Chain A
Amino acid sequence: MSTFYFLTLNGLTMAALLFIMASGLTLAFGLMRVVNLAHGAFYLLGGYFGVQVIHGTDSLTLGLLAGGGIALVGGLLMERFLLQRVRGLDLSEALLTIAVGLIIADALLVVYGGQPVTLPLTRQLRAPVDLGVMMYPFFRVLIMVFAVLLGVALWLVMTYTRIGAAIRAGVDDRETAMAQGINVPLLFGGVFAVASFLAGISGVIGTSYMALNQGLDVRVLMLSLVVIIIGGMGSLKGAAVGALITGMVSSFATGYLPQFALFFLFLPMTLILVFRPQGLFGRAT
């Protein structure tokens, strides 16, 4: 039985990380039909920079903020100076993000080299805590708690604030929202910045147990895409459910059939594409 709990907790940890990665991406896509394919590169950027700051200051909080912050700045600059030039041409925007992703990843290779990097965590954070069913490392519990808090916060903002209402209106019908006086481009800039921030911060969080290295950007991007394809592009609820499915399937597959882990990772996505192409919570186009 303890193996079952162990695998479940592992799946939940991964789901939590996936949700942090994918939630911003899916919101930005929902609002403006723009997918940030530099998402993985922002993960790397945030991760490398955050770890560097933690080494320099010994403060985890500062590192998290720095990692999220630098990705936020990157995202804002990209949005302001590149994406806005081709606004409305969804594919051009997507292609621009690919180009920016390539440039950032290569620049990171120059700055940080090709050696893998891990996050220096204190003993207290790494130590296991008793969860009732089993002992589990404290920082992994924190990742789950953070993801839940983030999900609740995003849900509250989306449901009960004026900004949230404006975002929902923009997601539903961009033109009408604009006609009602909602500044959708500005709103989008904000959502895009938050999405970039989350990519950067997940870079720092993920590095607590997955070593950061070159090439991880593509894998992170791929995982995020899988999550939002399963959940439905543009849906926050979808991102949460997609992350849960992907995390759980991946954990149990890795536990019992590690050789085929990747196959099982893609299986839910393929099934969804066959039976419900718009994703679990996506709207049919």
Chain B
Amino acid sequence: MKYAKKLIIGGMSAMSLGATVHLQADDTIRVGVIGPTTGVFSFFGEQQRMGVELAKEELAERLAELNLEVEFYDSQGDAETTVDRLRAMESRDDIDLVVGPVLGGTGLAGLEWAKSSGMPMVISYSAPEDITMRDRTENVVRAGWTGAQPMFAFGEYVAKELGHKRIVMVGQDYSFPYNQAGGFMKTFCRAGGESVERIWHPTGTSDYSSILATLPDGDAVLYNGAGSDGLAFFQQYHDFGIDARMPLLGGSNFFAVGNLPEMGERAIGGLSALQYAEGLETDTFLAFRDAFMAMHGEEVVPLAPAEHGYVAFKMAVNAFESANGDDRDAVIAALRETEMPDAPRGPFHLDEYGNPVQNIYVNEVQEVDGRLVNVPIETYENVSQFGPFDAEEYLAGDPDSRDFPPSDCSDPYYD
């Protein structure tokens, strides 16, 4: 049986080898970037990584001055792996600040870990609103958005500018679409809308024909979801000719640029809202986009996860500079004071809860130079995660869920 002992000791020392080689205490500042670079959601993690790499190159001199190094970690899009990597960052690799995670679930897992660890963390694309609301913690700020944030603007736009009264909303059955629906309805109903009927389907549904068969009537349909579900919905919506009856609006990620070539010209004119648009024409954005494409290839368009990673990393570097080193409390204090007047997406600053107050763009899919892109046609400035509402009042209310807020705009809730 000695072999077993040898093996166990061998195995354990192999693990410990991995555990000890990295541990160095010195005056180097280390930033750990975590996102899903493998697995189903690798697209988002790759975008973030490319964004951070661009920022790293642009800030090379300042990084050398700070003696700042960057390490990339793969979350595999998995909460458990995320927590494991975060632990490795803290107790193995001597990381001083975390950029990421990227996805909703891993963001919440990261937040949970950060609460007990105290590590400064700049969440990039992950959008659950409670990260900077009901579960907020001092050491975690966000460079991106909440699910409801862009929809506050969109709800108002759809009611006021498009004049739709009754919306049929088909969406993926989980918290991010609930939050998007909540943001939309809270402003839509107060801006003259009459009702929003919600139909939830399981994530990963690929056949929508039966949902379309029983679709109620309305002024427009809003598909509240994204990815392959969204693409399949779009396809079948047109197969059954429902676009002739009701126009199709999108949730924030519905007309994502990766899906546009697959959607084809039928997507032209499609409306959605986000704090980002790859068709922005500002000088800072064009500089960012050109540098990004020069670095990562002409075919790789930077999307929101890339910009958010880029900006999150810049926020981190700014914080280390104003804290004059890696003192945790000073870095956190500096992070919370973040102002980014020249972010590619447009200027923003963090609210007192640690989420950006930023421009929201209502985007229309247009063909520009033979490519389908989201072009902003309307800008709502300084939209916070609470939309037009008072923060304390908002936090006192129920979180958005499958059937909250109410479908009927005449409900007393909206008074």
Q: In the complex, what's the smallest C-beta–C-beta distance from A232 to chain B, in angstroms?
A: 25
Cα distance A72–B200 in the bound complex, in angstroms: 38
Q: Which of B43, B201, B228, B259 has the most CB of A within 10 A?
A: B228
Q: How far is the CA of A214 from the CA of B227 in the complex (A)?
A: 11
Partner of A6, one of B200, B213, B232, B236: B213
CB-based A-B contact count at 8 angstroms: 116
B351 within 8 A of A: no
Check if A216 sits within 8 Å of B210, measured CB to CB.
no
A259 proximal to B (CB < 8 A) = yes
Is A254 in contact with B40, judged by CB distance below 8 angstroms?
no
Q: Does B41 interact with chain A (Cβ within 8 Å)? A: yes
- Whether A209 pairs with B232 at a CB distance below 8 angstroms is yes
Chain A nearest Cβ from B37, distance in angstroms: 10
Residue of B nearest to A252 (CB): B210
Residues of B within 8 A of A106 (CB): 38
Q: Which of A115, A117, A135, A212 contacts B43 (CB 8 A)?
A: A115
Asked if A254 and B206 make an inter-chain contact with CB atoms under 8 angstroms apart, the answer reads: no
Determine if A254 and B201 form an interchain contact, defined as CB atoms under 8 angstroms apart. yes
Minimum CB–CB distance for B175 against chain A, Å: 14
* Smallest CB gap from B207: residue in A: A14
Question: Hey, what's the 0/1 contact readout for A180-200 against B, CB within 8 Å counting as 1?
Answer: 000000000000000000000
**Distance of A214 Cα from B41 Cα, bound (Å):** 9
Could you say which residues of chain B place their CB within 8 Å of the CB of A213? Answer: 40, 227-228
A210 near B201 (CB under 8 angstroms)? no
A258 within 8 A of B: yes
What residue of chain A has the Cβ atom nearest to residue B231's Cβ? A211
Interface members, chain A 67-117 (any B CB < 8 Å): 106, 109, 113-117
Are B262 and A258 closer than 8 Å at their CB atoms?
no
Are the CB atoms of A126 and B239 closer together than 8 Å?
yes
* Distance A115 CA – B301 CA, assembled complex (angstroms): 13
Residues of B contacting A277 with CB < 8 Å?
none
Chain B residues near A140: list those with CB within 8 A. 209, 239
Does B407 interact with chain A (Cβ within 8 Å)?
A: no
Closest chain A CB from B186 CB (angstroms)? 22
Which single member of B38, B228, B241 contacts A128 (CB below 8 Å)?
Answer: B241
Given A3-B214, A113-B43, A258-B201, also A210-B207 (CB < 8 A): yes
User: Considering the chains assembled together, what is the distance between the CA atoms of A65 and B283 in angstroms?
Assistant: 49
**In the complex, which residues of chain B have a beta carbon less than 8 angstroms from the beta carbon of A117?**
262
A116 to B262, CA, bound (A): 8
A118 with B231, Cβ < 8 A, contacts A126-B239, A255-B213 known: yes
A251 is an interface residue with CB less than 8 A from chain B: yes
A115-B211 in contact (CB<8A): no
Decide if A137 touches B206 in the complex (CB within 8 Å). Answer: no
Residues of the A chain whose Cβ atoms lie less than 8 Å from the Cβ of B199 = 258
Residues in B with CB closer than 8 Å to A254 are 201, 205, 207-208, 210-211
Return the chain B residue nearest A5 by Cβ.
B213
Chain B: interface residue total (CB-CB under 8 A): 36
Q: CA–CA, A36 to B246, complex, Å?
A: 44
Tell me if B370 counts as interface (CB < 8 A to partner A): no
A160 on the B face (CB < 8 A):
no
Give complex CA distance A183, B60 in Å.
Answer: 68
Assess whether A162 is interfacial by the CB under 8 Å rule: no
Judged by a CB distance under 8 angstroms, whether B414 is at the interface is no
Bound-state Cα–Cα, A211 to B42, Å: 17
B202 x A259 contact (CB < 8 A): yes
Task: Say yes or no: B232 contacts A210, CB within 8 Å.
Answer: yes
Residues of A within 8 A of B202 (CB): 258-259, 261-262
B39 on the interface (CB 8 Å rule)?
A: yes
Interface residue B339 (Cβ < 8 Å from any Cβ of A) = no
Question: Which chain B residue shows the least CB distance to A109?
Answer: B42
Assess A259 versus B206: contact at CB under 8 Å? Given A209-B236, A209-B239: no
With beta carbons under 8 angstroms apart, the residue of A9, A214, A255 that contacts B40 is: A214
Considering the chains assembled together, what is the distance between the CA atoms of A48 and B239 in angstroms? 21
Per the bound structure, the CA–CA distance linking A126 and B39 in Å amounts to 32
Q: Enumerate chain A residues within 8 angstroms of B42, measured Cβ to Cβ.
A: 109, 113-114
Specify which of A135, A216, A255 lies most central, judged by the most chain B CB atoms within 10 Å of its CB.
Answer: A255
Instruction: State whether B211 touches A255 (Cβ < 8 A).
Output: yes
Which of A209, A212, A219, A251 contacts B210 (CB under 8 A)? A251
- In addition to A118-B231, A258-B199, A262-B202, 15 A-B residue pairs with Cβ atoms within 8 Å of each other are A3-B214, A6-B210, A113-B43, A116-B259, A118-B235, A140-B239, A209-B232, A211-B228, A213-B40, A214-B39, A215-B40, A216-B206, A256-B214, A259-B200, A261-B202
Q: Can you list 9 A-B pairs with a CB-CB distance of less than 8 A?
A: A6-B209, A7-B210, A11-B210, A13-B207, A135-B241, A209-B232, A213-B40, A255-B211, A261-B202
Q: Which 3 A-B pairs have the closest CB atoms?
A: A210-B206, A116-B228, A6-B213
Where the two chains meet, the residues of A that have a C-beta atom closer than 8 Å to any C-beta of B are 3, 6-7, 9-11, 13-14, 106, 109, 113-118, 126, 128, 135, 137, 140, 206, 209-216, 219, 250-252, 254-256, 258-259, 261-262
